[in-house]
């Protein structure tokens, strides 16, 4: 009897560890891992430039890992069902295993592709997505989705911890004759103009990079995570989000690595970090329950909000030229590394939505193109939270002061000095408000406002009053 051959269709699950489809396929017989770049994937939210860069390097790492196990990665470009059928014909595969999508739009595609493959005589099986709790398993007593995080988190914990992760197969049996595969460069994921130098220096995409980053975080930073996670000037964060987004590590693996501490619920650093993993989970559940939210506010009254769309102000925000040092530092950090700490994201989002009254959707689109961890659920929840129009939203009167936020979370100004070097010579007491520096201080630091560094594009106190008046118009 011939050995069964299974295609493992890879998407945003680019790992070998705790990969249900890969493990089941390896137990069944021969394994043919396949990645298909679908030009139409994402619909209204196709991959941005930063995520394409990450995907290229993650696929490169995955191909090496699979090759060491015995079955390399086949790369194709086109309509997934057609490409998977072609590979199946070439290798004599009778089944396609894959990880189920998280996003609602992609779930519909899953069903279409599964139907198309089944009509072609291929057995298909879907495996659980990279979540702690299945969508729909954490609901209120009335059966409605939670719209506030804390009760969602408590209800999730009450359902029990996720299962233990399962290690990668020790060996894969590949096809007798490998099918045709594109070279990685033929997928066209890298930018034509090389703007990714900062990302290359900052990141190590792939499963090994994910495992190494998690181990270093637990070893060096998790004990102080609850105190340092909001700091901009020291690396108190885990920076695991892009690895999680691309499925280079499973959330079950992260959960059990953190929660193996016997008293993790009383360990402030570990408890805070797992809550952050839970926040990502909350975002994915919300996206599935309210699939319109990437483009439209969850709270209906916000459809009447009097936004003041200003292209010049928006472009100054994107370039890090607002005249507010912590905002500008964060936006330049984003452009250079494809990432910024969560506190920085809240600061720049509040500035865009509330100081400038520019629609949150424009900020979400910019983040989508520039973040290496651009995740539709988390991006949507974060922007709607800041704007005040989504689930668990910040109160409308919570308007971040970019000066006090900088002083609190970058107290010596080191984050600003790194990303806004034209202000590096200013002392800490004025680096977050250079317009208050004396002429002597500015001259000594080589700063000329309006020339070497821009003047403020808006006065925060006046902008705050304007925002509060705008929010008053949609009350009730």
307: annotated active-site residue: yes
Q: Tell whether the torsion through CA atoms of 104, 105, 109 and 111 is positive or negative.
A: positive
Are 326 and 405 in contact by the 8 Å Cβ rule? The answer is: yes
| Catalytic one of 106, 125, 173, 307 | 307
Scored b (16 or more CB within 10 A) or e, 136-147 reads eebeeeeeebbb
| Catalytic one of 45, 133, 360, 419 | 360
Entry field: residues in the chain: 476
DSSP, residue by residue, 352-398 = IIIIS---HHHHHHHHHHH-TT--HHHHHHHHHHHHT-STTPPPTT-
Tell me, rounded to whole angstroms, the distance of Cα 335 from its chain centroid.
15
Report the alpha-carbon distance of residue 135 to residue 289 in Å, rounded: 9
Own/partner pairs, 148-152, CB within 8 angstroms, 24+ separation = 148/391, 148/392, 149/278, 149/279, 149/282, 149/391, 149/392, 152/278, 152/282, 152/285
User: 136's torsion region: left (phi>0), alpha (psi -120 to 50) or beta?
Assistant: left
| Catalytic one of 41, 79, 342, 435 | 342
Torsions phi, psi of 116, nearest 5? -65, -40
Q: How many CB atoms lie within 10 A of CB 388?
A: 24
Torsions phi, psi of 82, nearest 5? -65, -45
Report the alpha-carbon distance of residue 113 to residue 118 in Å, rounded: 8
Q: How many CB atoms lie within 10 A of CB 431?
A: 27
Q: How many CB atoms lie within 10 A of CB 306?
A: 11
Nearest to 169 by CA among 286, 64, 295, 66: 66
**186: its two tokens:** 């033929």
| Catalytic one of 276, 335, 401, 441 | 276
| Catalytic one of 153, 279, 317, 368 | 279
Angle (CA) 343-348-351 rounded to 5° is 125
Report the alpha-carbon distance of residue 63 to residue 71 in Å, rounded: 9
Report the alpha-carbon distance of residue 162 to residue 253 in Å, rounded: 9
Q: How many CB atoms lie within 10 A of CB 161?
A: 12
Host H or E run for residue 74 = strand 74-77
> CA dist 161 to 99, 265, 364, Å?
21, 12, 32
- Is 105 strand, coil or helix? helix
| Catalytic one of 54, 237, 317, 383 | 383
276: annotated active-site residue: yes
Nearest to 352 by CA among 393, 305, 301, 387: 387
User: Catalytic amino acids?
Assistant: 276, 279, 307, 342, 360, 383
């Amino acid at each position: 009897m011939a050995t069964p051959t299974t295609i493992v269709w890879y998407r945003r699950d680019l790992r070998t560890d705790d990969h249900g489809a890969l493990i089941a396929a390896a137990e069944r017989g021969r394994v043919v891992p396949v990645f298909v770049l679908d030009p139409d994937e994402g619909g209204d939210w196709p991959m941005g430039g930063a995520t394409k860069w990450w995907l290229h390097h993650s696929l490169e790492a995955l191909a090496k890992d699979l090759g060491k196990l015995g079955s390399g990665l086949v790369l194709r470009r086109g309509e997934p069902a057609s490409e998977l059928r072609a590979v199946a014909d070439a290798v004599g595969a009778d089944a396609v295993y894959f990880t189920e999508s998280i996003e609602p739009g992609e779930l519909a595609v899953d069903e279409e592709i599964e139907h198309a493959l089944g009509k072609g005589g291929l057995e298909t099986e879907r495996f659980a997505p990279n979540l702690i709790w299945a969508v729909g398993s954490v609901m209120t007593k009335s059966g409605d989705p939670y719209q506030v995080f804390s009760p969602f988190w408590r209800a999730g914990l009450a359902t029990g911890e996720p299962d233990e992760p399962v290690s990668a197969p020790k060996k894969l049996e590949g096809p007798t004759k490998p099918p045709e595969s594109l070279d990685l460069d033929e997928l066209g994921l890298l930018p034509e103009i090389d703007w990714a130098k900062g990302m290359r220096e900052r990141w190590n995409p792939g499963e090994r990079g994910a495992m190494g980053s998690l181990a270093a975080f637990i070893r060096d930073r998790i004990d102080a995570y609850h105190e340092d996670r909001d700091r901009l000037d020291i690396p108190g964060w885990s920076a695991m989000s892009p690895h999680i987004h691309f499925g280079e590590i499973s959330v079950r693996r992260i959960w059990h690595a953190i929660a193996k501490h016997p008293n993790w619920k009383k360990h402030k650093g570990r408890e805070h970090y797992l809550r952050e993993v839970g926040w990502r989970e909350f975002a994915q559940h919300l996206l599935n329950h309210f699939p319109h939210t990437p483009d439209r506010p969850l709270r209906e009254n916000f459809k009447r909000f009097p936004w003041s769309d200003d292209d010049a102000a928006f472009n100054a925000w994107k370039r890090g030229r607002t005249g507010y040092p912590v905002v500008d530092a964060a936006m330049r950090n984003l452009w250079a590394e494809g990432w910024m700490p969560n506190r920085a994201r809240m600061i720049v989002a509040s500035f865009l939505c509330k100081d400038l009254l520019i629609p949150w959707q424009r900020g979400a689109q910019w983040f989508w193109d520039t973040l290496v961890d651009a995740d539709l659920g988390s991006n949507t929840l974060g922007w709607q939270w800041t704007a005040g129009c989504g689930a668990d939203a910040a109160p409308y009167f919570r308007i971040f002061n970019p000066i006090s936020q900088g002083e609190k979370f970058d107290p010596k100004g080191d984050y600003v000095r790194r990303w806004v070097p034209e202000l590096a010579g200013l002392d800490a007491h004025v680096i977050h408000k250079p317009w208050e520096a004396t002429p002597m201080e500015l001259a000594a630091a080589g700063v000329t406002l309006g020339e070497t560094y821009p003047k403020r594009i808006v006065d925060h106190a006046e902008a705050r009053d304007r925002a509060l008046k705008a929010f008053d118009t949609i009350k009730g």
